[in-house]
Amino acid sequence: MMRYFFLTLFLFVSLSTFAGYGDWTVYSAYHNAQRTVEVGGRIFVLSDGGLYCYDPEDTSVETFDKATVLNDNNIYDIALCEKTNELVILYVNGNIDFMSPDGSVFNVSDLKTSSLSDKTINDVLVDNGIIYISTNSGIVLVDVQNKVFGNFYAFDSNVFSIVLSDGVIYAATREGVYKGDTRQNLLDRSNWTKLQGYSLRNLVNFNDTFYAVTNSGIYVIPDKSTFRINNITKEYFTKWSIANDMLLLSNASSFASIDTNGKLMSYGNTGIVSATYHGGGYWAACGTGGLKCFKFDGSRFEETVSSIIPNSPLRNYSYQLRMMPGERLLIAGGAFNYPELRRAGTVMRYEDREWSAFDEEKVIAAVGANAYVKVTDVVQDPADPDHHFVGTASSGIYEFRNYEFVRNYTYTNSPLTSILPNGSNPGLYVRATGLEYDKDGNIWMFNNECDTIVRILKNDGSWKAYYYDEIAGYPTFDHYLFDSRGLVWFNSRRSTSQGSRAGVFVLDTHGTIDDERDDTYRFIYSFNNQDGKNYQPSEFNCMTEDLNGAIWFGTSAGLFVSYNPRDAFSSSFYFTQVKVPRNDGTNLADYLLSEVPVKCITVDGGNRKWIGTSGNGVYLVSADGLETLEHFTTENSPLISDDIYSIAINGSTGEVFIATSDGLVSYMGNATDPEESFNKDVVKVFPNPVRPEYQGNVTITGLKYNSNVKIVNAAGRLVHEGTSVGGAYTWNCTTSAGKRVGSGVYYVLAADEEGNDGVAGKILIVR
């Protein structure tokens, strides 16, 4: 009954570093430092909406995120509460974390969950243990000492900023400046007095003198009773901070200070955005320069500590993910057909736990920053891992070698055409998306909103085009799928008021892209399910083939499957919706994810489906879809957004990378790509040994598909058994009865489904 005891046995390889099953990682960008705060001798840095800190004593760097200690993501600002010696972390959505010097965090979510009509935050001020938050609805007060939501002073217009002096609040609003004495009932609007009617954006109280930082310059307010303003300089400063008895002012090209006597001094372009003073130095947030330290000699700032930037993505832009051989993750950071997301051209690589970005400087020098935007795709040459093409929804495609820019294919040097060929700048309207290599090394792409949509850059450098009258001029084709049968599938993502239809186009070239005479094709935009119910989804977002050859489709109406894809050319073709039994005694069932907008689908090594949605987070369903194994959202997990763009899986480790509207996260899954045979150099177990402080699962990778796994103790008694998920198996260090095992050596015996091949190894558990 334990047949594989007598097989040739290999000893498992142990891994010293690992991420355990179920662990989350938030891959935050830290390349645009905007604020520094000193707490307990450490310098905290707000960068790209994320948080990290630097310890000048031991030069260590630590990052913080939703997967570690924070309760949210996308930080608006940070500040020190001197009364409690805590770091105040205010998020864009109104959530607030308080971090103590020992690293513990307390959360107050009252503002986030409140029913205020407009919670848009414009400014934050911490004074004497109270947080004053200026919003579009009014002023929100939070008591830091007691960690409670305090008063709310409602205004009829946006409150941009406030300052305090002698118990009086001065509020800069869209309608002018108001003052209110806190010794009166300020919940009563009649107790607020309007001082003047012009709009000021940022107010600062420095040395009990008020300053206004506006887009027309810096003003001093010599008389608080009238709020009369005097201009100091007409230079426009965008950021300010107070450090060591100086008001520091910065913009993109210059840096200045105001001393306690009101004297203004300029220092040129230091790169400083804001700073805090500690240990005789100015610890400065320097935008893309990261964290630096400067000494000030009375006339100039001299850099003493160079850029400190954690290893991280260049930006929190994550749209399309591709996992390549060698555990290389490629990220295209743009967005397609989202007018409000005109993201700077961003292509990144994550490999060997290091982040790097494709060349941008040469690209921008060649085409301009306005052209290199909306990067939607990145593909890697199957014959050359250092050769890549990048697609954009703006200016054609870009070729890179060794991550350096080579050339831009656009309307002037290729068959790609512009949407506005007669416009003033045709090069800004060359939509080239959906890049994908076929098995012969040809790159397929879509030239959207043009007469001929389907374009191919062949492996010999020549071009091929397919014209189809049914889809001419369509705006949002963005994915190709080359299935195991030789069929080509591509999607029209959305229906438009101009007559374009969401649907899927299926093409059979019969293996000859140059000979169209034997081609067959069909555009499917209206279809029935197995029960005869008709669908015409407004969005047709994605498709993927599973390990059994079935093709799964994600639409605005939910999830659909074709178990016989070649039937697509038949008039009787239909899509199947998986029916999940209710198991409530009624014999009724519900369609899997019916009406849930599915944006992406990825298949793991166990043939399970990872499904990304719009607004509903991520689902993991069983291979047949009958069981929902996981449903991750921002409310029940470290997921940073419920809007999912793309999912990619590292088949060697099981790490599931998830591209969201707010950036990249990952979840360590329990499925890896199966091996064709057992190999002592491939099979790994981790952690090993299992030390007393470890409470997670032991994971075994490098197994064959659906391996039978048994765990026995030193006496040969069976402790636990199960089946691998793809090429991985996880054991929670308990017996089959659920009792946690004790210290000792345990043997792992794995065999294939037929029992003809196997491996064995041992795990040391220390309690």
Determine the average pLDDT of the residues in 703-720: 92
Of 409, 455, 419, 412, nearest to 434 by C-alpha is 455
DSSP result, 408-448: EE-TTTSS---S-TTSS-GGGGB-BEEEEE-TTSPEEEE-T
Of 174, 179, 133, nearest to 156 by C-alpha is 174
Highest mean pLDDT among 93-97, 225-229, 712-716: 93-97
- Give 102-122 pLDDT, tens digit per residue: 999 999 999 999 999 999 999
3-state percent helix, strand, coil for the chain, nearest multiple of 5? 5, 50, 45
- Give 591-619 pLDDT, tens digit per residue: 999 999 999 999 999 999 999 999 999 99
pLDDT given at position 337: 79
Residue 21 has pLDDT above 60, yes or no: yes
Mean pLDDT, rounded, of the chain: 94
Sorting pLDDT into bands at 50, 70 and 90, what band is 682? confident
pLDDT given at position 19: 67
The DSSP code for 365 is H
Domains of the chain: 3-19+676-765 (2.60.40.3080), 313-467 (2.130.10.10), 477-669 (2.130.10.10)
Determine the average pLDDT of the residues in 501-521: 96
Residue 649 has pLDDT above 90, yes or no: yes
Could you tell me which residues come within 8 angstroms of residue 19 by beta carbon, excluding any fewer than 6 positions away?
A: 25, 653, 655, 668
pLDDT given at position 336: 87
pLDDT given at position 429: 96
Taking CA 77 as the corner, what is the angle to CA 72 and CA 82, rounded to the nearest 5 degrees?
A: 105
| 375-381 sheet: strands from edge to edge | 375-381, 384-392, 397-401, 404-409
Partners of 203 in beta bridges: 212
Could you tell me which residues come within 8 angstroms of residue 689 by beta carbon, excluding any fewer than 6 positions away?
A: 763, 764, 765, 766
Out of 77-81, 225-229, 316-320, least confident range: 225-229
Taking CA 391 as the corner, what is the angle to CA 390 and CA 396, rounded to the nearest 5 degrees?
A: 115
The verdict on pTM exceeding 0.85 is yes
pLDDT given at position 141: 97
The DSSP code for 200 is -
- Give 391-408 pLDDT, tens digit per residue: 999 999 999 999 999 999
pLDDT given at position 311: 98
